[in-house]
Structure 1
């Protein structure tokens, strides 16, 4: 009987010890780090999908009809301004020029004879004036014939790179037909769309920003070596999208960028008095972002917040939080609404100092 009492006492002792251990573990597990949002002036870099265009990109079209007699360039070739690119068979236009020059000589001779007769009062001065007008008309025909003949040589209007050649040697070319496209890629334009709030923020902080410099992230996720400058903002917003187009100019000394390429313009946007929290203090449900706010009794409550910008390790909050709110820094996946937790408060400056992005 004594042994039975001893065994029962041992079991009770073990049960008490086990309960105490579980309670201690639960209390230890329920202690979390808590901080508050940090208010500071900072900036963030935002990516904008952009369309890259040559500063000059023109279609080279035939100005005369005829057979394509010569092609002096190849696709992708760099050419100089004034360089001959194509020749359309000039025989007809050469003949027209010879005819016009002959008519001009005949008109000149006729004018000389008429003038000699007019000086002797054999013919009237009006007939001399008619002969002069006929000569002027013949000279105009010569100039026009020379112009048509010059159009048989298609020259580059500026330095640039030749695009595809859709017509082959010997093709019959109509007036106005496309021969190729010429692109001046020495500098490039990047067009990108900015929302109305971002446009207002950009313009409002133009003086404090001090620079309109931007960078370009290429399709291979590598940055272009040369920075660009925002130089033009269009005059109107798109009524359908609510965006306005910006244009940045980028130097392209190595001709790396081509007309029609895509990339991402990276623009630094200043933020005054921004409310910043660590990303790890948040969680998402159905594309909405939440934090756990700790009340004065130590209970946690989920709260939906609105984000203004995303930076490495940090979020800029535009709604849902105030600077005095205590938010759960760690353990957001372990707690649920109305849980009571023990916590250690960490100053937001120290929290941010340990993240990749340092406060500026």
Structure 2
């Protein structure tokens, strides 16, 4: 009875058993996968907090006042009476122009005035006696007034031979030396005085940013910063912070057509003379206060293929939910979020490489966030 039929039956039973085992394996695989724990992720629970917005704007320093020293009479420079690069006071004599010809003119004017005044007085007594006509007296009186004007002009010219500083400030190098011939109305200045304490800082802001700021203030998304609204601070070209605070004075009433920017002017005290005209600086200006700002750690924000900022959050069911964001600026190691995240959202900052939207995760407090945004220095 152990013929071919028996061997075929045994082989069939073997195949059936193998098929049943395979079926059992495939039914057990989902059960084994379902028993794996959800991936562990680190989260940060976001909070809304007041945040003062500042703008970092490039700028250059400019002298508070500038005066070009020019001669008001012609002549030869006899002396230079200042040290180049020194501080001068308003009214301090800077140059002496040869006064000889002007002193001679003054003496001549004094003599002419004396003669005209004497004649006018004599005619005044005679006109009442009809010894001279009224016309003669009027002419003599007019000549006296002309002589007075000529005398005053001669005195002014003598004073102008002393070239004085018109303002307080630091004077630059002299453009002329002793013996040089100068003339009234010449194009070349003798020297330039610049007042550097206080000093101006002119910064530029794009017209688009200015419009957005005004719109946010008008619509209530930002509040004015109160007494601090006009304050400004500086960072110097070497990266150091300038120790004195400044105040914003005004903004230009027009936009520069070639750059699309508006010029803002701030004033800073400069008692040590650290700031010099033409220096490049970075100015921080207070824009306003966002009373419910959302600051998200940069570790939890990425960009998609379109360049849009995105984030992953854990919802109430502990499932991963993607968000597309609008981020205005960086604040230290944080992003200031305009749209896409809200207070109470649990932002994933650790374990992002193991997750995808829709899966269930095991959230824990993140360990890769070390500093609270409230102590960060704001930056544009």
- Secondary structure of the residue aligned to 1:129 is helix
What is the TM-score of this pair, normalised by structure 2? Answer: 0.74
Task: Indicate the RMSD between aligned Cα atoms, in angstroms.
Answer: 3.5
Higher mean C-alpha displacement, 27-36 vs 182-191: 27-36
> Hey, what's the Cα distance between the residues in 1 that align with 2:217 and 2:84?
42
**What does the per-residue CA deviation read over 1:173-206, in whole Å, with 9 as the maximum and x for residues that have no partner?**
2323311111222212222234312355578766
Q: How far does residue 233 in structure 1 lie from its aligned partner after superposition? A: 3.5
Report if aligned partners of 2:203, 2:264 keep a CA contact under 8 Å in 1: yes
Following superposition, the deviation at residue 279 of structure 1 comes to 1.5
Q: TM-score, normalised by structure 1?
A: 0.77
Alignment partner, residue 48 of structure 1:
57
Within a 5 Å distance, the mapping from 1:235-274 to structure 2 comes to: 235-238=253-256, 241-269=259-287, 270-274=289-293
**In structure 2, how many angstroms separate the alpha carbons of the residues matched to 1:199 and 1:76?**
44
Any stretches of 5+ residues in structure 1 without a counterpart? 1-22
Residue 217 in 1 paired to residue 235 in 2?
yes
**Which is worse superposed, 117-126 or 236-245?**
236-245
CA distance in 1, matches of 2:304, 2:96: 66
Evaluate the alpha carbon distance shift between residue 112 and residue 209 of structure 1 in structure 2; reply closer, same or farther with a 3 A threshold.
Answer: closer
Distance in 2, Cα, partners of 1:359 & 1:115:
88
Shift of 1:100: 1.8
1:267 CA drift (Å)? 2.4
Q: How many residues align?
A: 331
CA contact (8 A) 2:54 2:286 kept: yes
Distance 1:62 1:293, change over 3 A: same
Residue 287 (structure 1) shift:
10
Contact 2:314 2:348 in 1 (8 A): no
User: 1:257-284, CA deviations, whole angstroms, 9 ceiling, x for partnerless residues?
Assistant: 2233332222234223222200122345
Change (3 A) 1:120 1:44: closer
2:296 corresponds, among 274, 277, 283, to 277
Q: After superposition, what is the alpha-carbon deviation per residue over 1:102-127, rounded to whole angstroms, capped at 9, x for unaligned?
A: 22122123224433443442211221
Match of 1:97 among 91, 101, 106: 106
Q: Which of 327, 338, 347 lines up with 1:318 in the alignment?
A: 338
